Amino acid sequence: MELDYSAVLPFLPVFFKGAWVTIQLSAASLVLGLLLGIIGGLCKTTSITPLVYVANFYTWIFRGTPLLVQLFILYFGLPQFGIRLEPFQAGILGMALNTGAYATEIVRSGLQAVDKGQMEAAVSLGMSKPVAMLRVIGPQATRVIIPPLVNQFIMTIKNSSMVSLVTITELFRTGETVITSTFRSFEVYSIIAVMYLVMTSILMVVAKRLEKGLSAYDRA
């Protein structure tokens, strides 16, 4: 069978609609996941033991089980207990919790990479620990965590294809429906691959600009 994109090109608006759903889903998941990661990373580096235990338990659960299983528990399992989530809600929550678990370890490693003397010096200058964390430790840790955090965000965007299994019509599920109409599997999947590549490439470009901006700020 020869390649024939002419049968698929009329469906481009449908692909773009699915890609927009993927972008919305991924953006919401990344924001919530980053927030969870910051909270979890701070909990893991605190001296308050119960918070450390809670953060450790959270990362153990969500890093140790597949994202697909987590999505299925949220969407198909929770109704057994009277908790019903809309597909989009289950998708965002599942991806955010999973991303947050990995982001927690990234933030933790970034905070611990900053020399402890930095905090001591900031406190000796009269700063409170929260202010020192925000103004001294945070900026230094950010430079460390950006590269691995971007990698995790890229993984989140690619993993968004799994939410198609909880009936969300995002990019991948859209492609599946187009295949049933055109029977052009290679053409459809190649278009999907290009769209995912564009989305992840944009994220990488933004991350590189952010890194350069931070480096320029340091030199200034």
Per-residue pLDDT tens over the stretch 149-174: 888 999 999 999 999 989 888 999 99
Give the pTM. Answer: 0.88
3-state secondary structure the chain: CCCCHHHCHHHHHHHHHHHHHHHHHHHHHHHHHHHHHHHHHHHHCCCCHHHHHHHHHHHHHHHHCCHHHHHHHHHHHHHHHCCCCCHHHHHHHHHHHHHHHHHHHHHHHHHHHCCHHHHHHHHHCCCCHHHHHHHHHHHHHHHHHHHHHHHHHHHHHHHHHHHHHHCCCCHHHHHHHHHHHHCCHHHHHHHHHHHHHHHHHHHHHHHHHHHHHHHHHHHC
Please tell me the least confidently modeled range out of 77-81, 191-195, 208-212.
Answer: 208-212
